[in-house]
Amino acid sequence: MKTLIGEKAPAFKATAVVAGSEFIDDFSLEQYKGTKNIVLFFYPLDFTFVCPTELLDFQGKLIEFEKRDAVVIGCSVDSHFCHWAWLNTLPKDGGIKGVTYPLISDLDKTIANSYGVLAGQYSLDKDNGELIFNGNPVAYRGLFLIDKQNVVRHQVINDLPLGRSVGEALRMVDALNFHEENGEVCPANWKNGEEGLVADAKGIADYQSKRH
């Protein structure tokens, strides 16, 4: 599993459900190039346990991402019909009704594979010449922050049982925007509204003197 940091985000076209109900057959990231940062996250499966807590939390903070010129996009190996059913099931019944950001169907697992988050791999069965899958045929909890030029600037991948921090994803959007607007870098535990630092010896010394 290699990092995608600094590289162009792998391109794809896939079927997605947008606005909770509309099917889009050729959904891609290219539509956001030059205008929006992208938070693309992968999750294992619809109708599970940790996943709805994450998707609903992204929806609860969606307006904050939008204020920062960022779009949120989810992706799993479920079909778009399964996405649609989940989107039309109430949270009290295990659903995510009310989620409005796009959910991509990666039924053939090619998107998860290209982003390095597939929880297993294909191999060739030498006896019959068929492809077999070794591992769990779902995506890890991967998250990628992609800038307006479609370059990956941040990624984090959690194992299946470990739910991610949506607040941390929002913090990273803030950090990227701050750096691009001010040219300064963001020190440890930086939060929106705090000072950054100039990436040279004097800048670091000035920052440390203010902290201690």
Angle at 32 between CA 27 and CA 33, to 5 degrees: 120
Whether 1 has a pLDDT exceeding 60, the answer reads no
Instruction: Give tens-digit pLDDT for 143-178.
Output: 999 999 999 999 999 999 999 999 999 999 999 999
Whether 202 has a pLDDT exceeding 70, the answer reads no
Whether 211 has a pLDDT exceeding 80, the answer reads no
Q: Are 71 and 36 in contact (CB under 8 A)?
A: yes
Task: Identify whether 75 is a catalytic site residue.
Answer: no
Question: What pLDDT score does 2 carry?
Answer: 75
Predicted confidence band of residue 129 (pLDDT cuts 50, 70, 90): confident
Residue 132, strand partner residues: 123
Instruction: Give tens-digit pLDDT for 45-90.
Output: 999 999 999 999 999 999 999 999 999 999 999 999 999 999 999 9
Question: What pLDDT score does 124 carry?
Answer: 82
pTM to 2 decimals?
Answer: 0.92
Burial 148-162 (b: 16+ CB within 10 A, else e): bebebbbbebbebee
Across residues 197-201, what is the average pLDDT? 75
Of the listed 51, 75, 82, 186, which one is catalytic? 51
Q: Where in the chain is the domain with CATH 3.40.30.10?
A: 14-163
Question: What pLDDT score does 8 carry?
Answer: 97
In percent, how much of the chain has pLDDT > 70? 94
DSSP for 67-110, please give it.
Answer: HTTEEEEEEESS-HHHHHHHHTS-GGGT--TT--S-EEE-TTSH
Whether 138 has a pLDDT exceeding 70, the answer reads yes
User: Phi first, then psi: what are they for 12, rounded to 5°?
Assistant: -160, 160
Rounded CA gap, 35 and 130, in Å? Answer: 43
Report the SS3 class of residue 135: strand
Fold of 14-163: Glutaredoxin (3.40.30)
